[in-house]
Amino acid sequence: MTEAATPLKPTFFNRVALPLFSWGLPFHSLLVALLFGGLGMAMTTVRALAAWKEAAVIALILIVILRAVSGRGPRVSVSWIDLAVASLIAIALAFLFAGKALFRIELPPGTEVYGMRDIAFFLLLYFVGRASPEIVDDPQTLRRLYIILLLTCAIAIVERIFVTPDMLVLLGVASYFQDFLNVSAFTAGNEFGLPTNYWTHIGNIEVQRAGSVYLSSQGFAMPFLILLPIATVWVFGRARRISLSMKIEYAIIWIGLLLSITRMTIFVCLIQLVLVVIMLRKPEWAVAGFIGAGVAIVIAMFVVPGLAGFIFDTLTWQTGSSASHSKDFLKGFTAFFDHPLGSGLGTTDQSATRFGLEPLTADNGYFKYAVELGIEGLIAHLAIYIGILFTSLKVARSATTLNRRLMGLVVLFTTIGIMINAWTGVVFNALVVSYFYFWFAGAVVTIAQLEAAPVKVRQPAPQLELSPA
């Protein structure tokens, strides 16, 4: 028996910093596209404005250091997960500053800097989370992101009905991808200059996919890996009785995800949903979800021409994207075994494409670390997952407050979702995933240590259930 912990006091982190990131990151791409492509602002000006997130992370790290030096931060001990995260950052820094000297890596100027940003910079937020466990005790942390997810899914539904490719071009989306991001290779094959994954073929019919405020279907779907667990625990984990309005809201969220037609992410999110409701001790909702999904799929196969073949080709790995993934996997294997100690920062995926390089591999989060940072980077990367997985499971099962258990669930099933989805995508290209996942993971590690710390007085108390009875 353990005494319920006293909620930690609010600080700058959960009152100011986290709300800034919560609202800023989902709408970042849309705002940059409007400023650069829609309003025609100078690229240097827009790039400076777009760097707000990196500047904010650095500022947060400085605050963390100052709090630690002054003794005002949480009293925690060093965890082996800390060492794994620090090791991965150190490996990336070694490639950044000594890659040319040690490995004779020659890349275009700026490639390694962007590569560092895309593969390791966001790991700093893990240490921000270690210093801000109060975000776990704040119910607004999950509620805010639930509202944002609901809003972006509603926008996706409206977009799918009313927004045409021509409208997106006027908003500056095409210019954003082609000129600002310099990834015109991703926009080839359509007259609008939009990302090619904005469309897919179901049978012989070309179908437009929703991108919402993220401006591409995959960019819209990836954040669900963390936002759907948040929505699920918020709906099923807090309320004694799920109201009609909550059911409608949750349905809107799933409709938004389905409109992205991002098959792997939809599959992973379905797994997350089932696992979350089972761990919340509500298996009847898991059964209902399976039945509802099955009925919806059967009806859709009769209503949508070619959908049955589309699903069959997906399950049997016969689609065009499946062939592309297989090709990228082979390239990744080859590049890794040719250079097992690493080929250098920025040599894979969109980091390479932005600088006119042929990516050594793409569409696989594990190969990105293995190819760029070598076997040492891959080992550190996997160690981080393992540590976060077991720590979040411990918090989800035995933390003394509901908010802490729910955050443990979010981090646990986000980790599982990322580990599955990383086989067919570089998940951390999605800022909402990389920034919030490591921030929350760091906070959960600290909560686990605070929960395990001995206290002077313990009062017998009933064992808390994972969710209210």
In a domain, 334, yes or no: yes
On the question of pLDDT at 464 being above 70, the answer is no
200 DSSP β-pair partners: 207
For residues 392 and 126, the answer to whether their CB atoms sit within 8 Å is no
In a domain, 465, yes or no: no
In a domain, 459, yes or no: no
In a domain, 152, yes or no: yes
pLDDT tens string 15-28: 999 999 999 999 99
In a domain, 3, yes or no: no
In a domain, 62, yes or no: yes
Q: Please name which of 214, 119, 223 lies closest in space to residue 176, comparing C-alpha atoms.
A: 214
pLDDT top residue among 208 and 378: 378
User: Distances from the Cα of 126 to the Cαs of 136, 143, 250, 441, in angstroms?
Assistant: 14, 21, 29, 6
Dihedral pair phi/psi, residue 223, rounded to 5°: -60, -20
Burial of 188 (0-12, 13-18, 19+ CB in 10 A): exposed
pLDDT tens string 42-63: 999 999 999 999 999 999 999 9
- Structural domain range at position 360: 12-452
Percentage above 70 pLDDT, the chain: 84
CA 173 to chain centre: 22
pLDDT tens string 399-456: 999 999 999 999 999 999 999 999 988 999 999 999 999 999 999 999 999 988 765 4
Percentage above 90 pLDDT, the chain: 55
Q: Is the dihedral of CA 96, 100, 105, 107 positive or negative?
A: positive
Per the listing, tokens 């995959």 go with 218
Torsion, Cα 435 339 385 361, to 10 degrees, reads 60
Task: Give me the pLDDT at residue 84, please.
Answer: 97
In a domain, 210, yes or no: yes
pLDDT band at 1; cut points 50, 70, 90: very low
In a domain, 462, yes or no: no
On the question of pLDDT at 280 being above 70, the answer is yes
Tell me the mean pLDDT in the region 342-354.
89
Q: Which two tokens stand for residue 301?
A: 């196969």
On the question of pLDDT at 467 being above 50, the answer is no
Q: Which two tokens stand for residue 433?
A: 């995933």
Q: 313-327, 336-350, 374-388 — which is least confidently predicted? A: 313-327
User: Distances from the Cα of 221 to the Cαs of 134, 233, 269, 318, 430, in angstroms?
Assistant: 29, 19, 10, 22, 9
On the question of pLDDT at 305 being above 80, the answer is no
pLDDT tens string 390-400: 999 999 999 99
Terminal-to-terminal C-alpha distance of the chain: 18
Task: Give me the pLDDT at residue 301, please.
Answer: 58
Please tell me the distance from the alpha carbon of residue 174 to that of residue 167, in angstroms, as a whole number: 10
Our count of domains for the chain comes to: 1
For residues 438 and 125, the answer to whether their CB atoms sit within 8 Å is yes
Tell me the mean pLDDT in the region 229-244.
85
Task: Give me the pLDDT at residue 321, please.
Answer: 62
pLDDT band at 195; cut points 50, 70, 90: confident
202 DSSP β-pair partners: 205
Q: Which two tokens stand for residue 449?
A: 């240590």
